[in-house]
Amino acid sequence: MSLELVCPAGTPAALRAAVEAGAHSVYCGFRDETNARNFPGLNFSPDELVEGIRFAHAHGAKVLVAINTFAKAGAMDAWKAALANAEKAGADAVILADLAVLDHAATHHPDLRLHLSVQAAAATPEAIAFYADTFGVKRVVMPRVLSVEEIAKLNAAIDVETEAFVFGGLCPMTEGRCSLSSYATGKSPNLTGVCSPPEHVAYSEDRNGTATRLNGFTIDRFGAGEQAGYPTLCKGRFMAGGKTSYLFEDPVSLNAASLIAALAKAGITALKIEGRQRGKGYVTEVVRTFRAAVEAIDAGGTEVEVGRLLAGLVEGGRQTSGAYKKAWR
Amino acid sequence: MAEHFRGELPRLLRILAAPAGFLPLGPALTLAVRRFARRKPAVFDRLGDYGKCSFLIEPSDLDISFLMVPDGTRAEVKCLRRRAGQTADVTVRGPLLVLLGLLDGTFDGDALFFNRAIAVSGRTDALVALRNAIEDAELTPADFVGATGGLGKLVDRSVIGGLGLARRFTGSPIPGEPS
């Protein structure tokens, strides 16, 4: 097998669905602020993680635990506990971003395999070499701002594994450094694990359609029947220069299925599917489809029509290859 | 505001379903949810304090709605006439078959929202918590009627098969395919 398929699980049921649909690895997080999908009702208790890892291993799949928010100054206990619980549960790797958490893991859990989260935004050979040399990081998740060519050059200059997102929600900003959610709500994926925390999101309907509000700011309005997107500022519609438009990014999902072969050629080890906040229906369909796509490419067969098969699951009803093929660079 | 959703029941079935409003659905569903809470308390732990929130479920193709407070073994479900004008912490509206698909995990809630197959209002955090708790619950039709063992499997096979046929017949969204 040339490419590892790394799939999301927000709940134990989603983990089982991902494994049964063909995930080589599943990533998940604990039910607290230590991971970047800290939504109500989502994630795993330590006991659920133990059970989930047992299930995954019994089916030949790995479990990677995301502990990828930035620890609070002077209050690192939750992150230390998460590392200890991940190791105790038998995690195959932890996905980290914060220097202090990486240092603690390397010092106190030397047997844990360390992956560097996209939240660390390591996009240069120098940065990646620092994480590899200092903490023994074995894999780096590529920031979603790089083109395939840039990833190929990067891989030629480093000697750790790399993982690239191929499907799902798309951050147009450099992850780990975006403050839009903090600006509007005081909470961010970087520190509290939530972008546009749901307690600040409200939808209201009137004869003009559905308005989306984030902490009182109206950030979009969808007409009847118009496709909707996530309630994030980066995908909001604003007026500038007398024109209303999506200023940063349209509501759209990443789909790099057509670039799987190119990413493999560029030296990528693993393909990552976004969506720990999504349901079992999404996990099953996306994982099954991408597993078929990877196997078809491995076998030199016909490309699977991923875009058509998954069209009903994407944000805003649209798909993009994102920065991987960005021409304006 | 009147909204028309893809996958609604045809007019004849709506007429046939109209007497459902006179059945004791509220007490029956209350018992079913409480029974489920005793069997799988972890699902309600996942819901946390949001279990005390009220959720108004409005099938857009029926003249009844359901007001639910999913507070574990103290859960309560009321069946209401649609025009009762009930308020709740959260309101979810969509075709009956689509709403049932959310319960058993057939549909992804985000995808239904993107495609406007459902409409939501009220406390988004409570809705997200309920959605995630339901996702992990792996509810089956047998859970609602309290059937277990061979009978439970028979109920699940029959109801899931029937719902699948009904969704195809009504043009409900198909997982993965655009609405």
Residue-wise pLDDT tens digits, B9-27:
777 777 777 777 677 889 9
Q: Judge: A317–B113 Cβ closer than 8 Å, yes or no.
A: no
Output the pLDDT for position B83.
67
Residue A177: CB partners within 8 Å, gap ≥ 6?
A121, A190
Residue A329 above 50 pLDDT?
no
Output the pLDDT for position B175.
60
Output the pLDDT for position B174.
61
Chosen from A39, A313, A315, A318 to mutate, greatest number of chain B CBs within 10 A: A313
* Domains of chain A listed by start with CATH number: 4-170+252-325 (3.20.20.70), 180-246 (no CATH)
Among the listed residues B84, B85, B107, the one whose alpha carbon sits nearest the alpha carbon of residue B94? B107
Nearest residue, CB atoms, A202 vs list B46, B107, B124: B124
Chosen from A15, A31, A205 to mutate, greatest number of chain B CBs within 10 A: A205
Average pLDDT over residues A180-205: 92
Q: Judge: B1–A206 Cβ closer than 8 Å, yes or no.
A: yes
Average pLDDT over residues A138-164: 96
Which A-chain residues 144-183 have CB contacts (< 8 A) with chain B?
Answer: none
Measured CA to CA, the distance from residue A181 to residue A178 in angstroms comes to: 8
Measured CA to CA, the distance from residue A102 to residue B140 in angstroms comes to: 42
Give tens-digit pLDDT for B66-108.
999 999 999 999 999 876 678 999 999 999 999 988 888 888 8
Q: Judge: B128–A40 Cβ closer than 8 Å, yes or no.
A: yes
Q: Which fold has domain B11-139?
A: Nonspecific Lipid-transfer Protein; Chain A (3.30.1050)
Given the DSSP bridges, would you call strands A93-96 and A114-116 parallel, antiparallel or unpaired? parallel
pLDDT confidence band for B1 (50 / 70 / 90): very low
Nearest residue, CB atoms, A313 vs list B130, B135, B176: B176
Query: Contact, A15 vs A28, CB < 8 A?
Result: yes
ipTM score for this prediction: 0.89
Which A-chain residues 111-130 have CB contacts (< 8 A) with chain B?
Answer: none
Looking at the complex, does the CB of residue A280 fall below 8 Å from at least one CB of chain B? Answer: yes
Among the listed residues A83, A96, A177, A86, the one whose alpha carbon sits nearest the alpha carbon of residue A137? A96
Measured CA to CA, the distance from residue A301 to residue A279 in angstroms comes to: 30
Average pLDDT over residues A49-63: 98
> Domain limits of chain B?
11-139
For residue A139, the cross-strand partners are A115, A161
Nearest residue, CB atoms, A228 vs list B113, B121, B124: B113
In angstroms, what separates the C-alpha of B91 from chain A's closest C-alpha?
Answer: 10
User: By CA distance, what is B45's nearest residue in A?
Assistant: A41
In angstroms, what separates the C-alpha of B107 from chain A's closest C-alpha?
Answer: 5
Give tens-digit pLDDT for B48-65.
999 999 999 999 988 899
Q: Judge: B136–A11 Cβ closer than 8 Å, yes or no.
A: yes
- Confirm or deny that A171 is annotated as ligand binding: yes
Output the pLDDT for position A316.
87
What share of chain A in percent tops pLDDT 90?
A: 79
pLDDT confidence band for B2 (50 / 70 / 90): very low
Measured CA to CA, the distance from residue A164 to residue A148 in angstroms comes to: 10
Residue B173 above 70 pLDDT?
no
Listed in sequence order, the DSSP H helices in chain B are 11-17, 25-39, 41-47, 96-103, 109-114, 124-137, 141-145, 149-170
Q: Judge: B105–A13 Cβ closer than 8 Å, yes or no.
A: yes
Among the listed residues A108, A105, A103, A128, the one whose alpha carbon sits nearest the alpha carbon of residue A118? A128
Output the pLDDT for position B147.
76
Q: Judge: B1–A227 Cβ closer than 8 Å, yes or no.
A: no
| Residue A299, Cβ density class (10 Å: 0-12 exposed, 13-18 middle, ≥19 buried) | exposed
Looking at the complex, does the CB of residue A307 fall below 8 Å from at least one CB of chain B? Answer: no
Higher pLDDT, A208 or A215: A215
Nearest residue, CB atoms, A312 vs list B1, B131, B179: B179
Q: Judge: A14–B135 Cβ closer than 8 Å, yes or no.
A: yes
pLDDT confidence band for A243 (50 / 70 / 90): very high
pLDDT confidence band for A40 (50 / 70 / 90): very high
Q: Judge: A281–B107 Cβ closer than 8 Å, yes or no.
A: yes
Output the pLDDT for position B176.
57
Question: Which residues in chain A touch residue B120, judged by CB atoms under 8 angstroms apart?
Answer: 203
Q: Judge: A198–B128 Cβ closer than 8 Å, yes or no.
A: yes
Question: Which residues in chain B touch residue A185, judged by CB atoms under 8 angstroms apart?
Answer: none
pLDDT confidence band for B156 (50 / 70 / 90): confident
Q: What is the mean pLDDT of chain A?
A: 93
Output the pLDDT for position A206.
79
Give tens-digit pLDDT for B98-149.
998 888 888 888 888 888 889 999 999 999 999 999 999 888 878 777 777 8
Query: Contact, A253 vs A229, CB < 8 A?
Result: no
Higher pLDDT, B89 or A205: B89
Residue A273, classed as helix, strand or coil, is strand
pLDDT confidence band for B177 (50 / 70 / 90): low
Nearest residue, CB atoms, A312 vs list B125, B127, B174: B174
Residue A216: CB partners within 8 Å, gap ≥ 6?
none
* DSSP codes of every residue in A135-160: H---EEEPPTT--HHHHHHHHHT--S
